[in-house]
Chain A
Amino acid sequence: MIRVELSKMLRRPLTWVTIVALNALPTLVAVLLALTDIGPRPGTGPPFLSAVLTDGTLFPLAALGIVLPLFLPVAVAVVGGDAIAGEVQSDTLRYLLVRPVSRLRLLVAKLTSIIAFVVLATLVVALVAYVEGKLLLGKATGGVVSVSGSALTQTQMAERTGMAFVYVVLAMLGVAAIALLLSTMTDSAVAAALGTIGFLVASTVLLGLDAAESVKPYLVTRYWLSFVDLFRDPIRWTDVIHGVLAQLAYLVVFAGAAWANFATRDVNR
């Protein structure tokens, strides 16, 4: 079942159109930086963007920082919202359910497919950005500089970039689970996607509010950009670990709620 869902995801035009759209903004940013040579001021703009003017090999990280706060979660919300509601809209869900597979297995296959989409999208963004960084942006001669100013060896850089990639994928688990839950609650894929985006917007608004201090550790967007901490010296693990645990908690609760709702849901279409 998982193989079928993965194959469906890879063959769908929506998957590839979304991935191309995800790459559009980082590409535009790379071109603008290359033409103007103007980086963001300290404390502004996405992480690593100021550093790519001197070292283009950091552009994959900058690109992840560009797409992570908005475009990647929107893409995951669209794909996740379509998981069950899309089958209802195309009148195929009841045919899926007459097969001798449990609804839980179907949900797991759908969730796996969404996560595979996140891995694929993140990988393509990173690879495209690497090529763009190499071709268009700065060519550092003295090695990579950590956020704390120390030198990072090629091995350290490769390890930390790998960890950042995994972290970005994990950061989308919560969004995927929320989208999957909403997708089981409505017959409209658009409604499920918009509901997920609404959840993320609410989380972002609360993050900027001092009065919401007590709920901030629970917000799904709270630790998204903590992958930057992997490039400090020494690595600041606190928020990275909290971020991973928060996403796993969201996955367990919302995927569990999706299971609770979908297990006995009436399916007419």
Chain B
Amino acid sequence: MIPATRWLVVALVAAVLASLPLVSNAVPAKESRIGATALARRIHDASDVGWSGEVRSLGSVQVPLSGATFGGVARLLGEETRLRVWWRDPENWRTDRLRATGETDVVRDGGLTAQWNYEDNQVSFTPYSPIRLPGDVDVVPAALARRLLAGARPGELSRLPAQRIAGRSAAGLRLVPADKRSTIAHVDVWADESTGLPLRVQVYAEPAGRAPVLSTELTSLDLTRPTVDQTHFTFSRSIHYSRGVSLDAAAGANAYAPFIPPDTVAGLPRRGRAEDFGAVGVYGRGPTAVLAVPLRDSIARGLRDQLRRSATSKETAVGLEIQVGPLSVLLQRGRRGNFLLAGTVTTATLETAATDLAAGVVRTR
């Protein structure tokens, strides 16, 4: 064999090996004829679809917050998150956030939540609360798509070409919020056509933006409903156990703050049933959303210090505010306590919301 032939053989072998990972993605996606509204409805109805798989999310919003209370939110919006997910239904699931050095798992078993952290060798059990700060489960495409598409109107929806995701053909859907107060330009969702399970969600802050501010997708998928054993976790007896009363600052505020927020702020109606959301107000529709959380003085003080350190923060008549990408944040200190307002709306809308909140909140004791 002459030298050139030997090198040719090596080059051919290298080319074949390098092309192997591309083969599965080279299969074209099957185009679907389902309408945009019907697809949105199918996605909404897919919450009970059981599945397991891996999720990769990537955010590019650099929120200047850290620490135990709000650090998790900053990580979800600004970093890469890799999850293993077992989903039986909205009340029974398990998410494992993978790190090179360990993992943090959250298991929801009906009304109870268990959170395990490997490096701390500790599991803590808390009652589940519908009001909580965004967590790992919220960047699972199925959960994020349902939240963003909630209340979408037919005129805001259009179809996108199908894509191949996690080895399946996924029908595409675009939501362009009609509300001018929103800082979200559009949301693109691809879902498995047969089940409606969302496989990829991309959120864009600029109409012609090349890169999404938040992108999450399934990298592997098994549409078999996980068994109870897979979502019901049995922990070792040699780890530390603790029992908490609330998942996080938002859940704690919901449980103890003596407030009833108004039904509308900045013209945005309150979401959900008042008895479910207690002292916390969630306003708006789809991606035009405002969250208002009462904070204890100690937490508000730490948050204010962190926000002040940001170069983009500014004091206004209603509070300390910053805008990071599409996210507006305002920390209000009023006669009736501290409120954190955050949302994907303009700062002017958030200021109006803060004013309405201060005027409309009712103190119960």
Contact = CB atoms under 8 A, between A and B. Distances in A.
B101 A236 contact: no
Contacts of B98: 232, 236
Nearest to A48: B101
A244 to B, nearest CB: 13
Contact of A148 (B3, B96, B101): B96
Contacts of B103: 147-148, 232
A225 B100 contact: yes
Given A149-B239, A228-B100, A236-B98, A253 B119 contact: no
A60 interface: no
Interface in A33-81: 39-51, 54
Q: How large is the interface on A (under 10, 10 to 19, 20 to 34, 35 or more residues)?
A: 35 or more
A89 interface: no
Contacts of B233: 148-150
Interface residue SS majority, chain B:
mixed
Interface stretch (A105-113, A125-133, A135-143): A135-143
B238 A151 contact: yes
Nearest to A232: B103
A256 interface: yes
Given A217-B21, A228-B101, A143 B13 contact: no
B23 interface: no
B220 interface: yes
Contacts, number: 115
Interface residues of B, number: 38
Contacts of A210: 58
Contacts of B96: 148, 232
A151 B118 contact: no
B204 interface: no
Interface stretch (A115-123, A196-204, A258-266): A258-266
A42 B10 contact: no
Contact of A149 (B7, B10, B99, B236): B236
A218 B100 CA distance: 19
B99 A43 contact: yes
A31 interface: no
A263 B13 CA distance: 18
A145 interface: yes
B335 interface: no
Contact of A145 (B9, B17, B220, B239): B239
A263 B238 CA distance: 58
Contacts of A264: 3, 6
B101 A263 contact: no
A206 interface: no
A37 to B, nearest CB: 14
Contacts of B1: 263
Contacts of B100: 47, 225, 228
B81 to A, nearest CB: 12
A110 B99 CA distance: 37
A234 B1 CA distance: 49
B256 interface: no
A90 interface: no
Closest 5 CB pairs of A and B: A142-B238, A151-B236, A260-B6, A42-B119, A50-B119
